[in-house]
Amino acid sequence: MNLVARKDAIEKEIKEQQALLDANNSTMTTELIDNEGFPRGDIDVYTVRHARVRIIELRNDLKAVTDELAVALQAVFNSPEPESATEPSTSGHAQPEALKPFARVDGVAPSSPANEA
């Protein structure tokens, strides 16, 4: 499974676990006990605890996958381009239509880099 597909699968499972929390009117920080220290009767404490743990695990997995994806993208963008794209044409000269003038130089200032060249 490639990195993007793994990332998508993890994000999908996080949404599923979040839906379990939403179904119990709970969040990652909702108290699971009442004021007297007993488990709340209006939520399924086991399901909420299991969903919270799973979300934390999935967030860690997602971070690892996105880090791997970032490294892979860097490798793609830092790799040298194919030889055919960087080499000039076989004769060593560019096509005449590619060499259209874009500026006209009327003079060169003394002691400038252009003068030294």
Q: What is the pLDDT of residues 11-34, one digit of tens each?
A: 999 999 999 999 999 999 999 999
Q: Which two tokens stand for residue 62?
A: 């997602």
Q: What is the dihedral of CA 12, 13, 14, 20, to 10 degrees?
A: 120
Query: What's the CA gap between 29 and 13, in Å, rounded?
Result: 19
Using the Cα atoms of residue 95, residue 101, residue 107 and residue 112 in order, give the sign of their dihedral. Answer: negative
Confirm whether pTM is higher than 0.85. no
pLDDT digits (tens, 9 = 90+) for 43-72: 999 999 999 999 999 999 999 999 999 999
Cβ(61)–Cβ(43) below 8 Å: no
- pLDDT at residue 90 in the model: 54
